[in-house]
Amino acid sequence: MSLDPRAGLVARPFVDDPERRAIEALLAACAAVDRLDPKIAVPARDPGEGAPDRALLFHEEGALIGYASLDGAELCGVVHPAHRRKGVGRALLAGALAAAHRQGLATVTVIGEDASPTGRAFLAAVDALRAFSEHRMELREAVAPAAAVPGLALRDASMADLDLLAQLMEAIFDDPAEHARVTLTRELSLPDERFLVALLDDAPVGAFKVVHQGGRAFLYAFGVVPAHRRRGLGRAILDLAIARLDAEVGRRIGLEVATDNDAAIALYQAAGFRITTTYGYHALTVEPG
């Protein structure tokens, strides 16, 4: 089968409420068949003038049958089960690559779920090269917090903390500060994302990012500076993060961790997180249009 000539693709910086509801219905239709949990963003608030296109919507006869998100350089998409093998996935990919090209990106990272046979086949067909893998872990068990660390606290970060956060990302993840500043500048401006800094006696010792999506909160870039590792701070900071997010979203808290990071996986498991799925991250070159 081929695409209906009345079908069309729209790329936008964000989606309005009717589109968000249509995306949620599409994701529900996919989940009913696939039993998957795609790592897909739904930017539902206006990020302001000049923001890049982050949402790609494919309609046929007024119905949303395909959706993809371009979150920074990370791309993930879904197609309604009744409309697969018609070229919708390739149309979404082409639109996403065009949007990435407009942003000056040389490559995108396409995220696929290992449990999806159709997703794996699509990635192989477009010659996407697997770069690394991550487990998604979700808070599934009630575990007593570890002993509190005196003087440890969390503080919400703002754009005024850009330099501090860049220095922390360099110390924790070996991400050069100048590179981190570019990413952080974009992320700090997004309405559904925020950073928190961990302070020990008012000195910064760690940081992490929180992304709110679909009534859930996800932890990213969680880490402790090298000089303060192996002192129980990682677990103590994680306990503080869980307590804060529990007040916001209940226990609907998740995170992603590299599949080969045994120490981090053990830390998260000790706090009650369990592996729920695994994502493959695949590099794809952005060709000039």
Of the candidates 249, 275, 241, 284, the one whose C-alpha atom is nearest the C-alpha of residue 124 is 284
Domain 8-134 grouped into CATH 3.40.630.30: yes
Sorted by sequence, the CB contacts under 8 Å of residue 42 that are 6+ apart come out as 15, 20, 23, 24, 55, 69, 213, 214
Structure tokens at 179: 């590179």
Which of the residue ranges 44-48, 63-67, 199-203 would you say has the lowest mean pLDDT? 44-48
Asked if 118 and 238 touch (Cβ cutoff 8 Å), the reply is no
> What's the CA gap between 117 and 258, in Å, rounded?
21
Q: How confident is the model at residue 163 (pLDDT cuts 50, 70, 90)?
A: very high
**Residue for token digits 């994302």?**
193
Instruction: Give the separation between CA 175 and CA 260, rounded to whole angstroms.
Output: 19
CB 166 within 8 A of CB 177: yes
Any residues with CB less than 8 A from the CB of 164 and at least 6 apart, and which? 157, 197, 204
pLDDT in tens, 6-54: 569 999 999 999 999 999 999 999 999 999 999 999 988 787 788 899 9
Please report the pLDDT score of residue 249 as a whole number.
94
CA 203 to chain centre: 28
In the three-class reduction of DSSP (H, G, I as helix; E, B as strand; rest coil), residue 43 is classed as coil
State how far the Cα of 72 lies from the Cα of 64, in Å rounded to an integer: 23
Longest dimension (CA), the chain: 65
What is the reported pTM? 0.88
Is pLDDT at 104 greater than 70 in this prediction?
yes
| Region of poorest pLDDT, from 105-114, 188-197, 201-210, 266-275 | 188-197
Identify the pLDDT of residue 48: 79
Separation of alpha carbons 256 and 218, rounded Å: 8
What integer pLDDT is reported at residue 74 of this predicted model?
96
Q: Which of 266, 280, 270, 220 is nearest to 245 (CA)?
A: 220
Q: Domain locations in the chain?
A: 8-134, 142-271
Q: Classify domain 142-271 at the CATH topology level.
A: Aminopeptidase (3.40.630)
Take residue 244 and report the two structure tokens written for it: 């804060």
Q: Write down the pLDDT at residue 191.
A: 84
The length of the chain, given as a count of residues: 289
